């Protein structure tokens, strides 16, 4: 009740202040944004259409009066509260975009063209230390890029070419591993493997983050799986495509555990969905089936230019139609390029789901049953593998345990 009264007071106060502003050409909006169960942030949004530029000039303000965002748009949805990280189909940024923290420090400054980052951009931590310097070309990293830790230490100095790191370093990523019940009882038995890639907010060096959602959220809740499951952790700032890590990881996991190499599956959401597309294109011979969820792909030409490598890959893609973090069209575009060429292609569209579609997919059972129907096969083996799958059944489920590795 106290929280509700506070929010009502803030709304009334902002409306009164807005009414006193001498901005006869401005439209004033109040945007309550719920960020958690018991917390709502109220923004004041000031919009002015600039006729000579044919653009909307938009400014958002925190509850404390500090400006939160200033930008120009060629198309704009007044009710969408966005960030700078991704483009939105409804809000097309054009020109300079700036974003501030509530303490008044600048968080981000960059330039956009047709909704995509274009040119240099800089971001800062809330403590004032620089976080990143990047160069972009039509939504793809292109040129010199630097990232710093929150303590001001240089973390990465890289050079990109249309989204691809020019000089990728060899890397070994730490990971969580889950072993199914019965793994130790049958020393000669080989098990299917799921490789699970997390989203952008789980990057870093703390493996406990990986229990927050995805498949390892289900493991944490005590769910049984008939798979070995391995979830690597991507370092802060970079993507699953930035370093040469996968071959080292795959060699370690398949060497340490008894894995059926004909039943290796790959899935991930958001950043992990993007990584799923990328790794499947780069290593199509490794996987029996993949399931990318709401992955951004236009950040690099490599994926789209090599999409034909997935014409024989069983794929089940997912995306929420209401996603305002990664546009729905990202997955729709990838599926469209494979339609008519891939006979084992599924695309699940959730009309009311947003970027959290993984909460509808991973807690269910259907995806895991679908994985177990597929074995890696060459074109010549396709008919034989189909007969084997039709005759056999999935392994029995049982309670297992998770452990960290690396």
pLDDT of residue 357: 96
**Looking at 150-159, 252-261, 372-381, which range is the least confident one?**
372-381
pLDDT of residue 88: 65
d(CA 109, CA 88): 18
d(CA 32, CA 322): 18
Q: CA-CA distances (angstroms) from residue 48 to 17, 26, 33, 52, 350? A: 17, 5, 21, 12, 34
Other Cβ atoms within 10 Å of 304 Cβ, number? 14
Q: Which of 327 and 274 is assigned the larger pLDDT?
A: 274
- Enter the tokens of residue 219: 């493991």
DSSP calls for 362-403: TTSSHHHHHHHT-----GGGHHHHHHHHHH--PPPP---EEE
d(CA 271, CA 201): 9
Burial per residue of 230-256, b for 16 or more beta-carbon CB atoms within 10 angstroms, e otherwise: bbbbbbebbbbbbbebbebbbebbbee
Could you tell me the pLDDT band of residue 324, with boundaries at 50, 70 and 90? confident
Asked whether residue 308 carries a pLDDT value surpassing 80, the answer given is yes
**Looking at 1-5, 213-217, 275-279, which range is the least confident one?**
1-5
Asked whether residue 228 carries a pLDDT value surpassing 80, the answer given is yes
SS3 76: coil
pLDDT averaged over every residue in the chain: 87
pLDDT of residue 405: 53
Could you tell me the pLDDT band of residue 78, with boundaries at 50, 70 and 90? confident
Q: Which of 22 and 52 is assigned the larger pLDDT?
A: 52
Q: What is the pLDDT of residues 1-27, one digit of tens each?
A: 444 454 545 444 444 444 434 344 688
Given a contact cutoff of 8 angstroms between Cβ atoms, the answer to whether 60 and 102 are in contact is: no
pLDDT of residue 402: 53
Average pLDDT (31-42) is 70
Place of tokens 């909460």: 359
Could you tell me the pLDDT band of residue 37, with boundaries at 50, 70 and 90? low
Q: What is the pLDDT of residues 101-150, one digit of tens each?
A: 999 999 999 999 999 999 999 999 999 999 999 999 999 999 999 999 99
Long-range CB pairs of 377-381, under 8 A, 24+ apart, other chains included:
377/262, 377/288, 379/312
Average pLDDT (361-378) is 93
Residues 6+ apart with CB under 8 A from 192: 226, 227, 228, 259, 260, 263, 264, 265, 371, 372, 395
Is residue 326 packed enough to be buried (19+ CB in 10 Å), middle (13-18) or exposed (0-12)? buried
**Which of 324, 331, 333 shows the shortest CA–CA distance to 353?**
324
Asked whether residue 276 carries a pLDDT value surpassing 70, the answer given is yes
Domain ranges of the chain: 2-165, 175-405
- Enter the tokens of residue 204: 């870093």
Average pLDDT (147-170) is 97
CA angle 66, 89, 64 (to 5 degrees): 10
Q: Which CATH superfamily is domain 175-405 in?
A: Alpha/Beta hydrolase fold, catalytic domain (3.40.50.1820)
- Enter the tokens of residue 306: 């090599």
**Looking at 132-136, 153-157, 371-375, 384-388, which range is the least confident one?**
384-388
pLDDT of residue 36: 58
Asked whether residue 401 carries a pLDDT value surpassing 80, the answer given is no
pLDDT of residue 42: 84
Strand bridging mode 143-148 / 130-137: antiparallel
Q: CA-CA distances (angstroms) from residue 89 to 73, 322, 328? A: 12, 11, 9
Q: Which of 314 and 383 is assigned the larger pLDDT?
A: 314
**Which of 107, 12, 28, 32 shows the shortest CA–CA distance to 68?**
107
Q: What is the pLDDT of residues 165-212, one digit of tens each?
A: 999 999 999 999 999 999 999 888 999 999 999 999 999 999 999 999
pLDDT of residue 124: 98
Average pLDDT (62-81) is 89
Percentage of the chain beyond pLDDT 90 is 74
Residues 6+ apart with CB under 8 A from 357: 269, 293, 294, 318, 319, 320, 323, 350
Q: CA-CA distances (angstroms) from residue 76 to 49, 88, 90, 186? A: 11, 9, 6, 59
């Amino acid at each position: 009740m106290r929280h509700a009264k506070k929010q009502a007071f803030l709304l009334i106060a902002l409306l009164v202040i807005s009414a006193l502003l001498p901005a006869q050409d401005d439209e004033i909006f109040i945007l309550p944004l719920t960020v958690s169960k018991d917390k709502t942030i109220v923004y004041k949004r000031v919009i002015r259409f600039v006729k000579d530029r044919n653009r909307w000039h938009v400014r958002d303000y925190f509850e404390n009066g500090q400006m939160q965002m200033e930008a120009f748009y060629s198309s704009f949805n007044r009710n969408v509260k966005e960030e700078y990280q991704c483009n939105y189909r409804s809000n097309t940024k054009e020109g300079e975009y700036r974003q501030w923290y509530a303490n008044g420090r600048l968080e981000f400054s960059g330039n956009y063209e047709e909704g995509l980052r274009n040119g240099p951009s800089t971001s800062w931590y809330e403590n004032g230390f620089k976080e990143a310097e990047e160069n972009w070309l039509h939504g793809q990293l292109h040129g010199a890029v630097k990232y710093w830790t929150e303590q001001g230490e240089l973390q990465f100095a890289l050079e990109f070419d249309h989204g691809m790191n020019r000089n990728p370093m060899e890397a070994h990523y730490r990971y969580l591993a889950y072993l199914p019940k019965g793994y130790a009882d049958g020393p000669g038995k080989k098990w299917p493997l799921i490789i699970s890639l997390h989203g952008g907010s789980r990057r870093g060096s703390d493996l406990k983050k990986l229990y927050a959602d995805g498949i390892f959220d289900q493991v944490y809740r005590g769910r049984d799986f008939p798979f070995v499951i391995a979830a690597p952790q991507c370092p802060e700032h970079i993507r699953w495509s930035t370093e040469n890590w996968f071959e080292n990881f795959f060699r370690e996991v398949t060497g340490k555990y008894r894995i059926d190499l004909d039943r290796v599956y790959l899935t991930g959401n958001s950043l992990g969905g993007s990584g799923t597309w990328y790794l499947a294109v780069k290593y199509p011979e490794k996987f029996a089936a993949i399931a990318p969820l709401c992955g951004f792909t236009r950040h690099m030409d490599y994926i789209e230019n090599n999409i034909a490598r997935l014409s024989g890959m069983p794929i089940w893609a997912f995306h929420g139609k209401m996603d305002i973090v990664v546009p729905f069209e990202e997955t729709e575009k990838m599926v469209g390029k494979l339609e008519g060429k891939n006979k084992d292609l599924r695309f699940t569209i959730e009309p009311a789901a947003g970027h959290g579609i993984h909460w509808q997919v991973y807690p269910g059972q259907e995806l895991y049953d679908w994985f177990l129907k597929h074995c890696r096969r060459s074109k010549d083996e396709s008919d034989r593998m189909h007969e084997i799958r039709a005759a056999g059944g999935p392994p029995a489920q049982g309670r297992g345990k998770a452990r960290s590795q690396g």
